[in-house]
Chain A
Amino acid sequence: MNIRPNAILEVDALERRFDVSAPWLNRMIERKPRRTLRAVDGVDFVIQRGQTLALVGESGCGKSTIAKLVTGLHPPSGGKIRFHGDRDRLQMIFQDPFASLNPRWRVGRIIAEPLRTLRPDTPEDTVSARVDELLRTVGLAPADGLKFPHEFSGGQRQRISIARALAGEPEFLVCDEPTSALDVSVQAQVLNLMKRLQKEMELTYLFISHDLSVVRHMADVIAVMYLGRIVEIQPTMDLFANPLHPYTRLLLDTIPDLDAPKRDRSPMGGEVPSPVSPPSGCSFHPRCPLVFDRCKQERPERRAEVHDRRVACFAAEAGA
């Protein structure tokens, strides 16, 4: 992989904590301490302009929180986010197409809004022509602009949010599970569209998906997260060919495989640890098949290596 010196996003030691304490009164009565959850715990990565970086990892590991930090919906509790682009042209496709569309607005108005914000002087007929075009781009019809979000199925609503994101002429798109509500044939259309737009407009994507076959198709670089941290980051093909972190290996082994389904699959062992009280040392150690003493005491750091291949694991370090 060639590293070009034109990073559009640099994330440095990013942290986000949430207060998940019981209410004040309960804390007093039950003598419970204040509790903090470290949703994002010292994350760094760089995204090059025109490239796609994918975040993968277990539910609750902090992917959506990173997405919201990058788009400014949450302020960070620590660390830095440097965005070298036009903030107005940073758009997000949300994980939840139900919550993210205003139910009282017609679809046409929803899609037009980012366009009106970006270019307030655009004449009305240009706006509506652009909305029609966007609806067609995502496989809906111009007439759908007159309807309300509740008149659409889940997948159709996700296409509306994609159209809305594209209306803002983004240069950087944060896509949180953009196709997980879509069926595979519409997914193929949306992914092909996203790739085409990327090529034509040099779009950059921060792409979140739990579907590793989708990620493999879309991403240039994959960052694997576990409990608020990136445990491994590698160019896509290298990650699939040579996963370094034991968690990544487990993850790759768990993908349901259409070509060789394992119907008697036993799910990954171990309870998912709590981000409120993460395990000591390497937070993966209670579930790791390679665990040794040092892992329980010391926290492995991600060692910088050649290119963007980095892994936070003592065993991988020793083997490398």
Chain B
Amino acid sequence: MSDIVLDVQGLRVEFPTRKGILTAVDDISLQIRRGEILGMVGESGAGKSMTGMAILGLLEPPGRISGGSIHLSGDRIDTLDDRAMQAIRGRRIGAIFQDPLTSLNPLFRVGDQLVETIRLHTDLDKSQARTRAKDLMREVGIPAVEERIDNYPHQFSGGMRQRIVIALALCAEPELIVADEPTTALDVSIQAQITALLKRLCRERGTAVMLVTHDMGVIAETADRVAVMYAGRLAEVGAVEDVVRRPKHPYTTGLMGSIPSLRKDVEELQMIPGSMPRLNAIPPGCAFNPRCDHAGPRCRRDVPRITEGDATGAACWLEQTGTVEEGAIA
């Protein structure tokens, strides 16, 4: 049996609008193996969450998958109907979202929400499920569990709410966890606990994790491989040391340069000039070309792609062919 848990091929996500079709995810291919953490980074609005939502079958209409395929441990899941997908979510794929309130119902005590989810996915009885709920809350670092299990979501801090969501996602011991900014609202010590928890799950249970985060420090310490997205496309994919230390794509280089340092003092942070194009105004050729110092005629004509079959590399003409001049017709 292959150890590929998630296999995404040529995924496209579109939003039909009055003014035409917006492509939020444009031909993305990714694989995550058992026990592997794939980090996803990239400009705000690049399509990271949309990719995650497509995998979870949670795209909100009119958003829809318009191409490609998604397989979970060999089973095709992008063609399943809502009911079948709902069964897969929670049981086989756990989700942790950027906004903890998407996963928590403000009207119910967190303990009851955990117990309900656990009972939905296991055959534990009510009191066993409550014990398990407490264990999970402890596992994600909630203090004084006995006192807090009956509190409502709004009674917890932002970071604690997120930890409860993580506990919810772990209830059914899923094969794949899609974690969208799970540590964004957390301070470093809790962040370290959460990432250590994710790493432990990978190691001990073989869970595959897709970890979307802006925090390169977290990526450097947690992910095995990294995928960098820009304007709905993959800019670069590679082993974490390579992408962080020896970025190949000019966008990745700019991204790495703009991180405030713990060692150096600068008055101004390095910036990539300009901003990512709107989805309805993606320039022809390489989407990064208006902001790229190296852009040449070829970049403004042909879309660079990460060469198929090879799961690593950079979608950049300069990197792939050594030149940005006219070149052969792609």
Please report A residues at the B interface, Cβ cutoff 8 Å.
18, 20, 22, 26, 35, 37, 56-61, 64, 95-96, 98-99, 139, 141, 152-156, 159, 177, 180-189, 191-192, 195, 210-214, 216-217, 240, 250-251, 254-259, 261-263, 265-268, 271-274, 276-277
Contacts and interface: CB of A to CB of B under 8 A. Distances in A.
A184 B186 contact: no
Interface in B177-236: 181, 184-193, 196, 214-218, 220-222
Contacts of B141: 271-272
A152 B99 CA distance: 14
Given A183-B41, A211-B215, A254-B188, 7 more contacts: A154-B181, A187-B258, A254-B192, A258-B217, A258-B256, A262-B221, A274-B144
Contact of B187 (A35, A59, A154, A184): A59
Given A96-B99, A185-B254, A59 B158 contact: yes
A254 B189 contact: yes
A278 B131 CA distance: 24
Contact of A192 (B41, B143, B269, B275): B269
A72 B155 CA distance: 19
A192 B147 CA distance: 43
Interface of B: 41-46, 49, 98-99, 101, 138, 141, 143-144, 147-148, 150-151, 155-160, 163, 181, 184-193, 196, 214-218, 220-222, 244, 254-256, 258-263, 266-272, 275, 278
Contacts of A35: 147
Contact of A257 (B148, B181, B262): B262
B44 A274 contact: no
Contacts of B163: 59
A50 B163 CA distance: 36
Contact of A155 (B45, B191, B267): B45
Given A20-B151, A184-B216, A191-B269, A177 B188 contact: no
Contact of A259 (B138, B188, B193, B262): B262
A154 B186 CA distance: 16
A274 B181 contact: no
B157 A185 contact: no
Contacts of B186: 59, 210
A20 B155 contact: yes
A272 B45 CA distance: 35
A141 B98 contact: no
25 contacts: A58-B187, A59-B160, A59-B163, A60-B160, A139-B275, A153-B45, A154-B44, A154-B49, A154-B99, A155-B214, A181-B44, A182-B44, A184-B259, A186-B275, A188-B269, A213-B259, A216-B260, A217-B260, A254-B192, A256-B188, A256-B215, A257-B220, A259-B263, A262-B221, A268-B192
A54 to B, nearest CB: 12
Contacts of A98: 99, 101
B43 A186 contact: yes
A40 B222 CA distance: 33
Contacts of A183: 41-44, 46, 214, 255
Given A256-B220, A256-B221, A155 B44 contact: yes
B21 to A, nearest CB: 15
Contact of B255 (A64, A177, A185, A266): A185
A210 B191 contact: yes
A156 B46 CA distance: 11
A126 B114 CA distance: 51
Contacts of A20: 147, 151, 155
A98 B103 CA distance: 13
A98 B258 CA distance: 25
Given A59-B160, A185-B271, A212-B262, A265 B196 contact: yes
A177 B157 CA distance: 13
Contacts of A266: 196
B273 to A, nearest CB: 9
Contacts of A210: 159, 185-188, 191
A182 B255 CA distance: 12
A60 B156 contact: yes
Given A99-B101, A181-B98, A214 B221 contact: no
Contacts of A26: 150
B99 A184 contact: no
What are the nearest 10 A-B pairs in CB distance? A59-B159, A155-B44, A256-B217, A274-B144, A210-B187, A188-B258, A60-B157, A261-B220, A188-B269, A267-B192
B143 A273 contact: yes
